[in-house]
Structure 1
Amino acid sequence: MKFAQITFRMLTVLAVASQFNIAAVADDAEAAAATETPSGWSTNFSESLDQAEKSHKLVLADFYTSWCGWCKQLDKTTFADPEFMQYLNEHFIPVKLDAEDHGEGQRTAEKNDVSAYPTGLVFAPNGKVIGRIFGYAPAAQYKAKLVKIAKKGPKYK
């Protein structure tokens, strides 16, 4: 009888543990989908600066983290707006940088004192920050901020 009770308890523990494992796998898949880079965005800051110099554009670096709810909202709304993206691609080289990736994103965030997310930094092609956009903004407001920053930035003819 004791053997049957122990076996039943062990099976119950295994069943509960497997449910947590399934939930963890689902959470991992959801997190991976949420951090996918939107179309048209680079993930390489150095290459983006090179491209900006060749095309006489500025660089918009969007600093995000995988856990940031407002970062995900920015991707779903502002950065998914076709009119906004058309303006962005005409005037900027867009790059998304994970501020906690232990690579270029984290180094660039630390070098430029980025500690809140989302943060957008506008860079001249020489790597100098010429503007900052903090937090979430709908497409029209984000675009207005970019226009204002671009007006005071380097001029190309």
Structure 2
Amino acid sequence: MKYIVLTLLLISSLWSVELGWSDDYEASLKVAQKENKNLYILITSSTCGWCKKFKNTTLQDKEVLKMLNEKYILVHLDRDIDDFPSWMKVKSVPRHYFVTAKGKEIFTFLGYWDSLDFKSFLGDVEEKIKQDIK
């Protein structure tokens, strides 16, 4: 029985461990400034089925993990528990925000996306960042 409980705990926590999520927006901004990275902020709710599906499918894709880890400081906020900036409009979840290290929104979108679509969005975000730098 112990083995089953430990295995379930390990499996349920793998997505957060592998990506190194923070739940502190302000502290993450400071880290982003130090590391010269942007933030990817995922806002979910514990009662959201689409949020769970996104975590259990898209965020398990090795390419998605690599792309997120290389480019972003990762922030996961629970809409019903955590504090987030008032400029973030979070009625529906999952909500995805891409934000500069200075706290300026780069790109946002709503909903569950499979791995292929999410990787495409990550490419769109990178293009937008490049255009904004020019």
Partner of 1:143: 119
Q: How does 1:1-157 map to 2 (within 5 A)?
A: 38-39=16-17, 40-101=20-81, 103-104=82-83, 107-108=84-85, 110-153=86-129, 155=133
User: How far does residue 138 in structure 1 lie from its aligned partner after superposition?
Assistant: 0.9
The structure, 1 or 2, with the larger RCO (C-alpha pairs under 8 Å, 6+ apart) is: 2
Q: Number of residue pairs matched?
A: 120
List runs of 5+ in structure 1 lacking aligned partners: 1-32
User: How far does residue 35 in structure 1 lie from its aligned partner after superposition?
Assistant: 8.8
CA contact (8 A) 1:34 1:72 kept: no
User: How far does residue 36 in structure 1 lie from its aligned partner after superposition?
Assistant: 8.7
CA contact (8 A) 2:44 2:94 kept: yes
Determine the C-alpha separation between the residues in 1 that align with 2:24 and 2:52.
20
Q: Stretches of 4+ moved more than 4 A in 1?
A: 33-37
* Structure label with greater radius of gyration: 1
Normalised TM-score (structure 1): 0.69
Normalised TM-score (structure 2): 0.79
Determine the C-alpha separation between the residues in 1 that align with 2:58 and 2:95.
14
CA contact (8 A) 1:122 1:132 kept: yes
Q: Give the counterpart letter for 2:65 in structure 1.
A: M
CA contact (8 A) 1:63 1:117 kept: yes
Determine the C-alpha separation between the residues in 1 that align with 2:38 and 2:119.
14
CA RMSD of aligned residues (A): 2.2
Counterparts in 2 of 1:35 and 1:89: CA distance versus 1, 3 Å: closer
